[in-house]
Amino acid sequence: MKLSLKEISKLIEASLEGDLSKEVVGFNTLEDATSEQISYAVSTKYLESLANTNAGAVIVDSSLKKYCSTNKLIVEDTYLAFAKLTHHFKEYQSIISINDIQLNIDKISSIEGVSIYPGCFIGKDVIIGKNTTIEANCVIEDGVHIGENSHIFSNVVIQKNCQIGNNCIISPGSIIGSEGFGNARTNDKNWLAIAHLGNVQIGNNVSIGANTTIDRGTIKDTEIHNGVKIDNLVHIAHNVIIGENTAIAAKTGIAGTTIIGKRCMIGGMVGIVGHLTITDDVVINATSTVNRSINKPGVYTGFVPLMYHSEWKKVGMWITKLDKIATSLKIKLKNIK
């Protein structure tokens, strides 16, 4: 999709300062955008990136426009405007006839060692490496690449443009590249879904358990690096990055834009809050909640009963001081004696 800034300004109800005829072909981050792409900035946190961006245009509010040296689309609610515009750059699976699907299957099945079971849907421009098996009723959408010696079990969906490496196992019912959970509030307090424009990149020697979902990135890709082992019923949200040889047990949920390091071990039913960073060689025990970044390797556990947040903050503060309180009491009792 190619849109002029004049067209975009109408779509998102923006005032434009710059070249009305300038055309862009998609979104990217402030850091990575080219002159043919558009980006957005939502707060002063991004001032340096905003000042140095190569983007052809940036969506900003009036408080940030002075820091932007390229074409500016000025709006009241930057995040809402971004959400509206993503839908105009989203590419969906093309409609393919039954005959074309069969032609795609026949073409790929001719590759050495490739097996495609009955009931599969294979889209356009799919690449599958030799000795890879696609079991029954799988959906492999346009532009997907799957490496050599991989095994995709039945009823797996790999959505548009996702990349799977060599020697990978994806168990039944898993979905790779599902739409991320991102929404913006409208002025009347309804939710507007963001169309996720990134993909999923999965490295080599990765195994993914049954009924696990891995969401595509919002703009950049969700990344699962080499050697990662993921159990059943795990949810990995948009823009998550998981480092090499990390293992994640069943029913864990990892919220968006979290970065997990190498060789970590995450127990079952762990909940990890979004926008955190977990360093290498961290062990998180089962059912823990991770609500802050972890900067040092080690074994971590977090169990706190459900309560009002205002009470939880007080409890958390006292828990962190219990050791000092106990030491202080011992000293006082000793002095009394």
Enumerate the active-site residues.
Answer: 238
Give SS3 for 321. helix
> Edge-to-edge strand order for the sheet containing 200-202?
127-128, 145-146, 163-164, 200-202, 222-224, 241-242, 259-260, 277-278
Q: Which helix (H) or strand (E) holds 15?
A: strand 15-17
Give SS3 for 83. helix
| Cβ-based burial of 266 (10 A; exposed 0-12, middle 13-18, buried ≥19) | buried
- Per-residue exposure over 171-187, b if at least 16 CB sit within 10 Å of its own CB, e if not: bbbbbbbbebebebeee
- The rounded distance, in Å, linking the Cα atoms of 115 and 170 is 15
Among residues 149, 176, 289, the alpha carbon closest in space to that of 238 is found at 176
**Left (φ > 0), alpha (ψ -120 to 50) or beta: where does 185 sit?**
beta
Backbone dihedral angles phi then psi of residue 141, each to the nearest 5 degrees? -80, 175
DSSP per residue over 97-139, as a string?
A: -HHHHHHHHHHHHTSTT-EE-TT-EE-TT-EE-TT-EE-TT-E
DSSP state of 294: B
Place of tokens 């990995």: 236
Give SS3 for 168. coil
| Structure token digits, residue 138 | 């799988």
Place of tokens 């169309």: 195
| Structure token digits, residue 64 | 């940030």
